[in-house]
Structure 1
Amino acid sequence: MAGVGLSQRSQWRCGANRLAGDDTAAPGDNAGRRHPRSPRRGRGAAVSPAVNPLAELIEAELEPLVGHWMEQVQARLVPDARIGPELRDHIPEVLRDLSSCLRRGAVPETIPMAREHGRQRHRIGFSLKALVSEYNLLSDLILDRVEARGLAVTFSEMRIFSRFFSTAIAEGVAEHHARGEALVVKLAESEERLRLVVAGLDAGSFGLDLATGQGEADARFREVLGLPEGVAFSLEQTVRACHPEDRARLLLAIEEASLGRNQGFFRVEHRLLPSLTGAARWVESRGQVTFGPDGKPARLLGTVVDVSVRKRAASEREKLLDEVEAAHNRLLSLFENAPAFLALLQGPEHVYSVVNTPYQQHVGAGRRLVGLPVAQALPELVPQGFVELLDGVYRTGTPYIGREALVRFDRTGQGEMEEAYVDYVYQPLRNAQGQVEGIVVFGLENTEQVRARQRVEVLSQKVRASETQLLQVTDAIPVLVSLVTADERYGFANKAYEDWFGQSREQLLGRSLREVIGEAAYAVMGPYVRRGLAGESFSFEQHGVPYRFGGTRDVRVTYNPYRNADGKADGFVALLQDITAQRQMEDALKRQTEFEQHLIGIVSHDLRNPLGAILLGATAMARREDLDERSRKSVTRIQNAAERASRMVKDLLDFTQARLGGGIRIERRSADLHELARGVVDEVEAAWPTRELRVLRSGEGRGQWDPDRLSQVVQNLVTNALKYSPEDTPIQVETLGAEDAVTLSVHNHGTPISSERLDSLFQPLQRGTAEVDRAGRSVGLGLYIVRSIVEAHGGHIVVRSTAEEGTTFTVRLARLPAPDAGD
């Protein structure tokens, strides 16, 4: 079939209009023949679905066509129409249906996409005129592109094109109209329902012509505004009925609705002028401004409802809400600032919903809690059994109370567990139906109190142990121990006290001192008691204290003040020792010692003259030349025995003087200890020719001493060293002069003096060894006399004895006597 070239769009459109009602071929067909008819399918004739330039053009230019069409529709038809998907709607599908019809050569009886498009246009507010016009714009745009491309289009295609748009417009218009009629029906139904609703709401309705300012109002409206029947209704009357302070708001709301804001709707609550009773009423006015064809405000339709009761209720509600809010704020403040820790847990997983600051600090200031389950927020609580306790409270609804529970927290998140002790309550939180929906956690951390109590308990145990030990110790000693309080009552007494007074400790405690010891004893001890209560520390002996078994006793008493926490005297501790037997023994020993010492003195003094006569006679007989050898030996033995006896008598006299005469008397004069020692050693060497004696001296040796007594010291120490040392060992005598004193030391080797004997070495009748004196003339007074002579000079003597170093006696003498020393 030959194509037809159209140079003008008007020719095409006229042809298209004609063909819309004619199935014959166009007169300008190149073949000059009619097209063979195809079987009728729909309203178009079937053509070969071969290559169709017009269909190809539509398919190729679909998106540009749609875009250009949307611009034209928005610019020429509906300037305020929505853009985007709402404007585009089903047009691409309509063009695809057109292309399909061109290829098939037939137009169906109905085009679903066109009906859907008509439905959508009605929904978004397109008029029928706009609906038809947008299809005409679409066909014009297609024809523009056909003309621009110079496409050859057949009459058959012209017919299909025309019929498609005719059918599409008819379908869209029919759907739009059907929707409009349905809307009218619905509007009528809605108006009826609205009327019923208004009546049910006790609302008054009105309608007002904005051009004339006049309108109509129902009875309820007139009743609310106070308009009498028969009086014409106008906007001016409504404004006059409004409270002066609210008129501006009412007029502003109507003005904004008239300007099309909020789609012409308005709503405002305002007061009416006070009634005769003086009470202003509140009403709610609402309505909508409708617009005429010219777009100007035409009518004002609305309702008015008396809301005075609601406003009063709202006012009361606001007050109540304010009070609730204040109470809520107080509760929150209490919750936040409470010294206890608080938390709210929700659901079976115990999710934190609220925690206060003490709780946050309790578990760790930097840890996230709110919104997390306890097991996730504080995983260290799981193995400690606290989550299991929460599960039990949630499941049973029974509160749980924990006291001084030990809990460990990883407060820093570093795995370092910190211990805390808490008192806490898990209280179930129930909803309106009584079901458990959460748990309130309330508690106090009392770590310091618990640890303080634990320390107190430990201290109490120690105190009890100490008291037990004290009782055991004080009960074991044979001394009366008691504590007397400031009011002279017993606060403590030991076993010896019980035995002394014949009363148990329980009977003694709390009783007065005067009552226990009796008036006679208190008369003697009272002054001392008052001194003890005054805080004085002292000891005394009291003889002739009355005893409960009769007679009197001698006691030694020590008072030490007992002080309270402030350091003030609050009683005294008394130590009382029965020294009756001790004093008796001491007196007896003293009498015996004095007797022995007097006896020794008397005997020694009385033996001096006979021994002197014997020694003088033996000496005279030894000088005789006519004695035979046997007689001479006998005389020599008599002479030696007399000399030994004289020395023993001399020692006994010195001992007696030291013990009974107030010490050995000395006569100080200038002397040289170096020379004294040298002289004594020379004398001893003559008596001990087989022994080696070494003499060392250094420094100045002079001082104020009794030379005879010091010679006696040197001789005694050197003689002892010779007696108690091996024959083949030397004896060393050293004198050393220092700045203000001179030292004498005598050293020998041999068996050391035992530590037991060192303590009593300088006591009378004591010797440094258990061996028998080989010379047979020591009675154990030598070292006692040596120490007495040294102490009479104001000096002192010490001894050091070991197996490695030997034995050394050291005497230190001051060169001059002390200022207060007497000779």
Structure 2
Amino acid sequence: MDKNEISPALSPQLPLGAFIRNKRSHILKDWEESVRQLPHAQGLSQPRLLDHLPDLLERIANVVETVHTGGSASLDDMPEIHALERLDSGYDLDEVAEEYALLRACILHFYGDYVKSGGAESMALAMREMVSFNRTFDEAVAAAVSRYAQARERTLVALDRISEAALGTENLDTFLPKLLRVILETTEAVDSVTLLLREDDTLQVRASVGLGEGLAQDFSLKVGEGFAGRIAAQQRPLEVRSAATDPLVTNGALRTLGTRALYGVPLVYGGEVIGVAHMGSRTAFEFSNEDKLLFRAMVSRATGLLIQAWLADSEQAARAEAEAQKQLLNLIIEQSGEAIIMADAQGVVRIVNAEAKRQQCCGLKQVGPSEWHEVGGQLTEDEQPLKQADFFIRRALQGEGVTEARWKARRQDGAMRTFSGTASPLRRPDGALAGAVLTARDETERLQRERERTETLALLDLMLEAAPMGMAFLDRELRYVRVNASLARSNGRPVEAHLGKTVAEVLPVYASRIEPLLRRVLETGEALRGFEFSGPEEATPSGPSQYWVVDSFPVRTGAGELLGLGCVIVNITERKQQEERLRKTAEFRERFMGVVSHDLRNPLNAILLSANALLRADGVHANHAKVARRIMTSGERMVRMIGELLDFTRGRLGGGIPVQPRTCHLRHLCRQVIEELEISHPGRELRLRAEGDFQGEWDPDRLTQLLDNLGKNALDYSPAHAPVEFTLTDWGGSLQLEVHNDGPPIPAALLPNIFEPFRRAVAGDTHPTSGLGLGLFIVQQIAQAHGGTVSVASQEGQGTTFIVRLPRHALPGPPDLQP
């Protein structure tokens, strides 16, 4: 700046001390411009260049003012930060002195111009101030030089000790504790030193002394967190006065030991923070500037040594890794499933792995441990392919790679094998040819499998095309891979329109119903059998409904890998139409039977009344009475048959036989039926076993019909001398009825359909009392109407037992619909 800007006269004239304070910013700005011209100061930041000077100027001003005040002031307790900072920045002593000289010159130049403007009367006072200023400034320079020399000597000694500690030590785990102990012993106030190294965004304690064995070794924290983390994030030193209580300090060891002063610096290499080192004191609340400067210098030297140790470790690890990779490569080559032959640049084969020896895939024979030559003599026609494999190696040695090579070779066992492989030149990093490598695979089995697979696929395609039902294969994304013509016609699209498309794309109308089922097959591995669906034909959406049944199953490789789904689709429209015609025919027949049975009741009742009147009339001839009784018996039989037909019709068309439950006693009903059966079957023995409570709510008339049908069935199909047993069992909420006879067993083939209508207990039975074959069907319908079940057990030597299970309280039945 222009010094004349300070020249205007001031009234009254300022003394030198006040002038320094008043014009401090001008002085520092002019000084910075001058110092920046020096080579050693050009790299310093403005804070490091100027931060300590305002305090120095203030102290000099205080001392110069004593010329006026007569007081006492000195620089004795002044912390000489300037000298220590410059030592930390790598200045030598002459460069420090040069900065002080420039500062003196700036102050005197400014003040000289100022005093000159004040006149001769101020010169005497100004001279006294100049004497005091120069003496004070000389003291500052002398103190700085002395402090610089002491600190430099102390630093050099410490750095020498650090270097000695590192000599002959390459292992970090050995080197780092020795290094930290040197730092601890060099600074008197320091009680602990800790080094944390950075890995990604985490700082981990790598070495520590003075904190107690094992107290801090497991400590770690994130960059940006805690005391050390903030130093790493901000990349500058940090100091706290009471580490044991400061919330920024999270290391439990420091808190436990009651650490007061804690000072930390980052370890920087290549512009990146690689770690943090901090020293602590349990006696001092802060470290001196010399101690902090020394610590920074030692950490800086330690950083270089740490990098050297790291590089040594890395080099050793790299050598070990290279050796391990070499061994691994040899192991891979030796255990490879492919034949591998490697030759050097001179064509001498150096490596032949076990698979190459086993396959005998080329015409090279071993002479010594590492010497190989070609098969000599005239080659036969069978041996000629061996020459071809060696030819590929020679082409690779000429720098020409060979891909997809294929040749044949006859092994020593006489088998002719087919090989394929590649031959590649091997080059050094500089591009020079180092050798060649041949890799070969025995393709004989694979080619055989491919031929078999091709033949199988051809047969599969023939089978698909010849199959009358629709067949398809879908992948795991439900895309069509193969489709036969029958399925394509059924879907109303050509085969080509299916391939690569999903089910949803080909059949959008049915996708919502079919896709979830197919995905379930993929997820569970369980086949889908007999799924039926219907809808209009794709080609004619407005046409009649079509019906299909689908079977789908997972398709896997021999190793169990899921490939997709196989689907078989059969059009069952004709079958469904036939079933519908049969259903309608059966329904018509059953309704017809119901109507006829109902209408026959009236004339039959008239016949029975007339026959009964004849029997009651007086003077009827014996022969006529016999005929009337025969009419009565046949009529009653017809009444029962008509009743069975009506019950059958109700069961099939009316939603089941109707029941009207009310309170009744099952044992009493059994006793009543047994007595009636004993009257109609004189000489037959019927037994009843019952113990418990048999009160419940049922339709007594229907249960009587059930008991009568089971009893007559047992009597009809058992020997005349064999008893029929009725057994009642109380199960609490339900009751069980068993009707047993010792007749011949029911054939096993008839058991599954024994309760079907118009069935007889014995195939071809023509028993005169067997009726229409509706008795057991009606028994089942009555049991189901009450919410119960009926079953049968029949074995040779054990007779036949019908078992009825009834809830104690029957469900209300359907209304009695008369046909």
TM-score of the superposed pair, with normalisation by structure 1? 0.42
Larger Rg: 1
Q: TM-score, normalised by structure 2?
A: 0.43
